[in-house]
Structure 1
Amino acid sequence: MPDWLTNMEPHWAWLSLGVLLAAAEIVAPGFFLIWIGAAAIVTGVIAWVVPLSVPFQLGIFALLSFVALYGGRRWLRMNPITTTDPHLNQRGGRLVGEVLTVTKAIEDGRGRVRVGDGEWPVRGPDAAEGAKVRVVSADGGVLVVELA
């Protein structure tokens, strides 16, 4: 092992580990490593202020990791992350309520409508080409419509 690594003060190792774990959270997001990284940083600060043996530092790190993970999980359960756009990445859901023009007559419950510069398959009551229909819901890539 290199001399600089064996002569390193333990608090620098803890602080470095904490920063690396926080950086790893950016690369592999899962909202998990940040809590362990925070525990490592707090352990490094404690080891810097109060000289402790390495086994005691490991115990503090284990305890802080458990508390941070449990506390973070509990806080997220009590304060869920909500979105201001519930239909984000659900284009069919965004079309609910829109009035569209039938481009291929709806026969036997199936047809096509114009959406922007494209066409979408639809399911609904029979309607002639050119009729107006309102989107009621989306079932995967198929829009469910009613006569407008």
Structure 2
Amino acid sequence: MLAYLQNLTFWDWLALGTVLLILEVFGAGGYLLWIGVAAAGVGVLTYVIPETPWALQFILFGSLSILTAVFWWRRQRSAEHVAGHSGLNSRGQELQGRQFTLHEAIVGGRGKIKAGDSLWLVIGPDMPVGTPVEVIGQDGVLLKVRAVAL
């Protein structure tokens, strides 16, 4: 076994990288992807510098595996942080604090405003069409509005 390890070629590293990438396809969650990339990187290095000692190859493989896994982990954490504030399923929150003109009068506590190319149902005190209103909250799909003092 030691004789095999002492005579590793770039093909061995590329084969290991390929096997790891194939295993990643079956759902390893990203970890084997980066370890496979590290193995391929060592394979490229041993192609460029074929006399690289086997111990250095393993040190490089371990170091690259750790570095790429940490890089992936940090990137995933930052992506989760950004995704947590995406506004998905709460589109009305982005309208809070903005002012609009009533598109349909609020009668019986309900009316409509036009925000961009969408009509939104609003609730608030009765007001005529054209009244400037400010969105102050959201109740499900209904936006809460109040009249804006001019």
Q: TM-score by structure 1 length?
A: 0.52
2:100 aligned with 1:99: yes
Q: Residue 137 and residue 103 in structure 1: after superposition, are their counterparts in 2 closer, same or farther (change >3 A)?
A: same
Instruction: Indicate if the aligned counterparts of 2:103 and 2:112 stay in contact, CA closer than 8 A.
Output: yes
Amino acid at match of 1:134: E
Matches within 5 A, 1:33-72: 35-48=34-47, 49=50, 50=52, 52=54, 61=61, 64-72=64-72
Deviations 1:98-134, CA, capped at 9 Å, x for gaps: 3220514253xx412131554322233x122313311
**2: distance between equivalents of 1:88 and 1:147?**
26
Q: Residue 128 and residue 95 in structure 1: after superposition, are their counterparts in 2 closer, same or farther (change >3 A)?
A: same
Instruction: Indicate if the aligned counterparts of 1:112 and 1:122 stay in contact, CA closer than 8 A.
Output: yes
What's the counterpart of residue 120 of structure 2?
120
What's the counterpart of residue 134 of structure 1?
134
State the identity %: 25
Instruction: Indicate if the aligned counterparts of 1:134 and 1:145 stay in contact, CA closer than 8 A.
Output: yes
Q: Matched residue of 1:121: which SS?
A: strand
What's the counterpart of residue 6 of structure 2?
none
Instruction: Indicate if the aligned counterparts of 2:11 and 2:43 stay in contact, CA closer than 8 A.
Output: no
Q: TM-score by structure 2 length?
A: 0.52
Q: Say what the alpha-carbon RMSD is for the aligned residues.
A: 4.3
**1: distance between equivalents of 2:74 and 2:111?**
47
Instruction: Indicate if the aligned counterparts of 1:123 and 1:142 stay in contact, CA closer than 8 A.
Output: yes
**2: distance between equivalents of 1:92 and 1:12?**
51
What's the counterpart of residue 147 of structure 1?
147
Q: Matched residue of 1:40: which SS?
A: helix
Q: Residue 146 and residue 72 in structure 1: after superposition, are their counterparts in 2 closer, same or farther (change >3 A)?
A: same
What's the counterpart of residue 15 of structure 2?
13
Matches within 5 A, 1:15-30: 16=18, 20=21
Instruction: Indicate if the aligned counterparts of 2:17 and 2:35 stay in contact, CA closer than 8 A.
Output: no
Task: Please list every run of 5 or more consecutive structure 2 residues that lacks an aligned counterpart in the other structure.
Answer: 1-9
What's the counterpart of residue 5 of structure 1?
none
**1: distance between equivalents of 2:30 and 2:17?**
19
